[in-house]
Amino acid sequence: MKIKNTLLLSATCAVIVALSGFIKPGKPQTDKPSITDTTIHADGNPIIRHEYTADPAAMVYKDKVYLYTGHDVAPKGRQGYVMHDWLCFSSSDMVTWTEHPSPLDVKAFAWAKDDAWAGQVIERNGKFYWYVAISHGTIHGKSIGVAVSDSPTGPFKDARGSAIITNDMTMDSKISWDDIDPTIFIDDDGQAYLYWGNTNCYYIKLKPNMIEADGPIVKVEGLPHYTEAPWLHKHKGWYYLSYAYEFPEKIAYAMSKSPKGPWVYKGILNEIAGNSNTNHQAIIDFKGKTYFIYHNGALVPDAGSFHRSVCIDYLYYNPDGTMKRVVMTSEGVAAVK
Ligand code: FUB
C-alpha cells in the first residue's frame, strides 16, 4: 500500500522515516498522526491497512464514492469492541482513496455515552444525514442518533439533540443492543425508510425532515436467521434487504417489489469473512459496476473480530434479479474510469 500524505510532501526525510511504520502493509497503526486529507492507494483487500475500519457504509454523490466506516481501536489482546469515532474516505475510482479527518465522534451527541457502532449516510436536499448506533448515557442500551452536515465530509452535528430510536421502543428482544445498525433508504417517490435491528429487524418511515418518525415501528418478517446489519438497496425495480445471517455471520438477502415488503428470502450472498465473527455489508452501483463492501479480520492473526478491515469485491446480478454469491478476493477491485 502506498500512502501519500499531501501535508508531508515538503516534510523532511526524518519525518518520512518516522511514518514508514504507519504505511507498512500488515502493520496497522491505530495511533494515527493528526492529518488533514491523506491519499491511500489500495493494493487489494483490505483496502485500508494503517488503521482498523469496520461496518462500511457507502454513498455515491456527484461522481464520487464516500465510504464511512467504524473505527476499531481496541488495545491488543482486548476481546471486545472499542470504538469512539467514525471515519470517512472518498474515491473517484474505487482504488485511490482520500481519507478525510474523522467527521463524527460520539462526543457530538451530548446524550450519548460511547460506542461508535455502525451507521450510514444519505443525502437529501443538499444536506447529509448520518444515522449511527451509540450507547445512550441515561436510557439503558443502544440507541440510534442522527447527525447532519452541509458536506459529505462533515463536520457533522447532532440533528435532534436526542436519539431517534431508543432501546425501550422495541420490546421483542431483551438484549440491550437490539436497536443498532441503522440503514437508510429514500425511494423514488421521496419516502425515506430507516431500517435497523439486532435479532429482530424493524423499520419506520421518516418525515421529509429526515429526523422524525412518520408512523409506527414495523417489525420485518421473512428474514430467516436474521442477526443484524440490514442494508436496503434498489436495482432495476427490485428492492433488496441484505443482512447478517447467524453468528458467526454470513450475509444473506431477501427481495421484494416494495421497500415495505413482503420480503422473499433468496439465500446466502457472502460466506463468513476471514477471521471475523461479524460481517457488515454495503452495496452500491458506481460507474456501471456493482460493489460489495464488507469487513474481515485479515490484518491480524487473532482477535480479528475486534480489529476489522474494510474490503471491496464485485457483486453480480442474475438475469432474474437475484444476486450471485460474492467471491471474496485478496486482489480486490480494479480502478474504474
Ligand atoms: O461494530 C459493532 C457491531 O459489530 C456492529 O454494529 C455490527 O453490525 C457488527 O459489525
Q: What is the pLDDT of residue 6?
A: 34
- Residue 177 Cα to ligand 1 midpoint, Å, equals 10
Indicate the pLDDT class of residue 238, thresholds 50, 70 and 90: very high
Please, are residues 267 and 275 in contact by the beta-carbon 8 Å criterion? no
pLDDT at 118: 98
Gap between the Cα atoms of 185 and 169, Å rounded: 21
What does the alpha-carbon distance between residue 278 and residue 275 come to, in Å, rounded to a whole number? Answer: 9
CA atoms 147, 151, 153, 154: torsion sign: negative
pLDDT band at 30 (very low <50, low <70, confident <90, very high): very low
Of 11-15, 101-105, 148-152, 212-216, give the lowest mean pLDDT range. 11-15
The model's pTM is 0.91
The DSSP code for 21 is H
Q: What does 182-249 look like in DSSP terms, one character per residue?
A: -EEEE-TTS-EEEEE-SSS-EEEEE-TTSSSB-S--EE----TTEEEEEEEEEETTEEEEEEEETTTT
**pLDDT over 90 (residue 58):** yes
Give the H or E element holding residue 2: strand 2-5
- Judge whether 310 and 332 are in contact, CB under 8 Å: no
Q: Is the pLDDT of residue 24 over 60?
A: no
Ligand 1: nearest atom to the Cα of 228: 8
Nearest CA to ligand 1 atom 4: 278
% of the chain at pLDDT higher than 90:
87
pLDDT at 1: 40
* pLDDT digits 0-9 by tens, 277-301: 999 999 999 999 999 999 999 999 9
Q: C-alpha grid cell for residue 256? A: 421484494
3-state secondary structure of 24: coil
Mean pLDDT of 109-120: 98
Ligand 1 pocket, CB under 6 A? 54-55, 70, 81, 117-118, 133, 180-181, 228-229, 278, 280
pLDDT value for 35 = 60
User: Does residue 21 surpass a pLDDT of 80?
Assistant: no
CB 333 within 8 A of CB 315: no
Q: Which three cell numbers stand for residue 123?
A: 443525502
Over residues 174-218, the pLDDT tens digits come to 999 999 999 999 999 999 999 999 999 999 999 999 999 999 999
Kindly provide the b/e burial profile for residues 165-174, where b requires at least 16 CB atoms within 10 angstroms of the residue's own CB.
bbbebbeeee
Atom of ligand 1 nearest to the CA of 118: 6
| Mean pLDDT on 226-244 | 98
Residue 78 binned pLDDT confidence (cut-offs 50, 70, 90): confident
Determine the residue type at 41: H
